[in-house]
């Protein structure tokens, strides 16, 4: 179960960060002040996700979707509010290669697995299934740098799906693969839905509608709407027609 209340995540400009780096030399109160060198990527975000629920996250580029997933993965500690996550979270490896593009897909699977707390033996047990699922057979021992975006997506998705964690975070992986892979990925999604709690970020409303039982629409770091997929997506699409600048 995931419970987020009044979550705020603040980023600072490089200049402000550099000042903070030496903050221990200065008066504490000096640094607590708000200033123009920072902005809130997320603010006043509250929602709850029940066990086994699949939640879709939608919103324009830069609206804070990925930031929210990172908070749930434990990467960003909240600057404001509270986040409680019960259960183990799978990796968030999306389109980036996790460690080093020189390393093979196989090495990356092991690394990802160990990162999220699996043992080498556990990974040995599922590696064949993952490799088969990715259909990368010949490429699996080649450096990840030789992979296409779609191939990387396959790798990331396969690892997330087979890690058997309570909470699965999927950031825009589904929409990259080819038709054949998408069908497979959808079958796989149907398999885990209900057992695992899933948070799904996508710009494809079709995907969201298909899987999500609830949708959260983020707009410039705040929740614009939460609720029934159809309803929220309607609102989102309607708003998207009225062009707004991306900056806040």
Partner 1 sequence: MIEQVKKVWQKRELLWYIVKLQMKAENKNKLLGFAWSFLDPLLLLIVYIVLVSYIFGRGGPQFPILLFIALLSWRWFTNALTRSVTSVTSKLALVQSVRFPLAILPLSGIIVGFFDWLFGFAILVPMLFIFKASFAVNVLWLPLLLLIQFIGTIGACLIFAVVGTYLSDLGNILQFVIRLGFYLSPIIWIVEDVVPESLFTAYMLLNPFAGLLESYKNVVIRGMAPNEYALWGAAVACIVFLIGLWYFSRNEYKLVKAI
Interface with partner 1 (CB under 8 A): 11-12, 14, 17-18, 20-21, 24, 70, 73-77, 89, 91-94, 96-100, 102-103, 107, 110-111, 114-116, 119-120, 143
Largest CA distance in the chain: 59
Shortest approach of partner 1 to residue 25 CB, angstroms? 12
Shortest approach of partner 1 to residue 219 CB, angstroms? 22
Cβ-based nearer residue to partner 1, 97 or 197: 97
Cβ-based nearer residue to partner 1, 52 or 143: 143
Shortest approach of partner 1 to residue 93 CB, angstroms? 5
Residue 230 CA, chain-centre distance (Å), reads: 22
Cβ 97 vs Cβ 144: under 8 Å = yes
Cβ-based nearer residue to partner 1, 25 or 238: 25
Cβ-based nearer residue to partner 1, 11 or 47: 11
Determine the Cα angle at 225 with ends 233 and 13, to 5°: 110
Helix axes 149-162, 105-115, angle to 10 degrees: 40
Shortest approach of partner 1 to residue 17 CB, angstroms? 5
Cβ-based nearer residue to partner 1, 146 or 234: 146
Cβ-based nearer residue to partner 1, 110 or 217: 110
Q: Which of 90, 184, 95, 180 is CA-nearest to residue 144?
A: 95
DSSP 8-state secondary structure symbol assigned to residue 117: T
Cβ 73 vs Cβ 89: under 8 Å = yes
Segment 208-213 long-range contacts (CB within 8 Å, at least 24 positions apart): 208/56, 208/58, 208/233, 209/233, 210/186, 211/54, 211/56, 212/54, 212/55, 212/56, 213/53, 213/54, 213/55
Hey, how many other C-beta atoms are within 10 angstroms of the C-beta on 201? Answer: 26
Shortest approach of partner 1 to residue 138 CB, angstroms? 18
Shortest approach of partner 1 to residue 110 CB, angstroms? 7
Shortest approach of partner 1 to residue 227 CB, angstroms? 29
Cβ-based nearer residue to partner 1, 96 or 194: 96
């Amino acid at each position: 179960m995931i419970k987020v209340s009044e979550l705020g995540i603040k980023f600072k400009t490089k200049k402000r960060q550099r000042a903070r780096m030496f903050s221990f030399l200065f008066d504490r109160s000096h640094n607590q002040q708000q200033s123009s060198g920072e902005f809130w990527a997320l603010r006043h975000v509250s929602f709850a996700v029940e066990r086994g629920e699949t939640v879709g996250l939608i919103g324009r580029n830069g609206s804070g979707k990925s930031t929210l997933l990172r908070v749930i993965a434990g990467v960003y500690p909240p600057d404001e509010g509270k986040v409680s996550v019960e259960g183990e979270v799978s990796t968030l490896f999306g389109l980036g290669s996790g460690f080093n593009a020189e390393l093979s897909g196989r090495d990356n699977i092991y690394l990802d697995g160990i990162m999220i707390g699996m043992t080498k033996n556990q990974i040995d047990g599922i590696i064949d299934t993952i490799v088969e699922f990715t259909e990368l057979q010949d490429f699996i021992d080649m450096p990840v740098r030789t992979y296409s975006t779609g191939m990387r997506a396959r790798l990331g998705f396969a690892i997330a799906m087979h890690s058997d964690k309570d909470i699965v975070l999927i950031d825009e992986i589904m929409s990259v693969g080819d038709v054949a892979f998408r069908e497979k990925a959808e079958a796989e999604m149907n398999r885990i839905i209900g057992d695992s709690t899933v948070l799904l970020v996508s710009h494809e409303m079709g995907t969201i509608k298909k899987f999500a039982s609830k949708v959260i629409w983020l707009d410039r770091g705040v929740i614009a709407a939460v609720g029934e997929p159809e309803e929220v997506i309607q609102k989102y699409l309607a708003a998207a027609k009225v062009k707004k600048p991306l900056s806040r």
